[in-house]
Amino acid sequence: MNSRTVSYTCPYCGKNYEIDIYDSVIADEDADLRDRCLSGDLFRSTCPRCKRDFMVQYPLVYIDRSHRFVIWLNETAPSETLMRSIAGPLIPQGYTLRRTPTLKEFAEKIQILEDGVDDRVVEVAKYDSLIEYLDNKKGTAEEITAIEYQRTENEVMKINIRTDDKGLSFLIPVSMVEEEMKESGGLYDVDNSTFPVINADWIISLFAPNGSEMLS
């Protein structure tokens, strides 16, 4: 792990105080840090003056050597030169490299890649679940608050569509989505060396360039 202390200003009362942040986490070296990344506790802070709790997001490189993936938590894309220099030694070793702009995507991505599932498959499954949800008139796109990956068991993914007052689960066979992707003519191909962002905006952009708000 690589941590340091920095000065931070409370967004509620303006109090300056010090917090510990991590530049990198090696998950297979510290199970507690892995759990805190997954739960979000690593980014949780409490102001010593006003006692408000909130999340502090900062750039972090998450490395899981046993599952061979690296997740770069960063709201903005670092330079292509920097990304490729980091990716260079990892790609020949079979690492999956991803960037996540938000803490929610960060935690979900850890779960997906720990489960050994291609995250592109997950996003296609989410999109297919959305289409089925709308086609079967279970609700409207405006009512949806989240479309989430929950788990994969026996090669079947569970995808949850949530609204303010209810939720609906879809069970999607991984093989079915993989076959759908094989027939796409390379539509879902990504450049692993650039730490691509594979999320709702990515999948929507492939089908409806002006409709990313559907899954926002």
Q: What is the pLDDT of residue 52?
A: 98
Q: What is the pLDDT of residue 93?
A: 96
Distance CA 216, CA 120 (A): 18
Q: Is residue 195 part of a domain?
A: no
Task: Kindly state whether residues 98 and 138 are assigned to the same domain.
Answer: no
pLDDT score at 209? 54
Phi, psi (rounded to 5 degrees) for 60: -150, 140
Q: In terms of domains, do 101 and 131 share one?
A: no
Do 6 and 108 lie in a common domain?
Answer: yes
Whether the CB-CB separation of 36 and 49 falls below 8 Å is answered with: no
CA distance 199 to 113: 13
First-last CA distance in the chain: 33
194 within a domain of the structure (yes/no): no
Q: pLDDT (tens digit, 9 = 90+) per residue, 61-76?
A: 999 999 999 999 999 9
Domain of 92 in residue numbering reads as: 2-114
pLDDT tens readout for residues 191-203:
999 999 999 999 9
Q: Are residues 158 and 110 in the same domain?
A: no
Question: In this predicted structure, what is the pLDDT of residue 186?
Answer: 92
166 — pLDDT class (breaks 50, 70, 90)? confident
- Are 6 and 110 in a shared domain? yes
90 and 181 share one domain: no
Contact between 169 and 138 under an 8 Å Cβ cutoff? The reply is no
- How many folded domains does the chain comprise? 2
Among 95, 21, 107, 106, CA closest to 64? 95
Of 210 and 166, more confident: 166
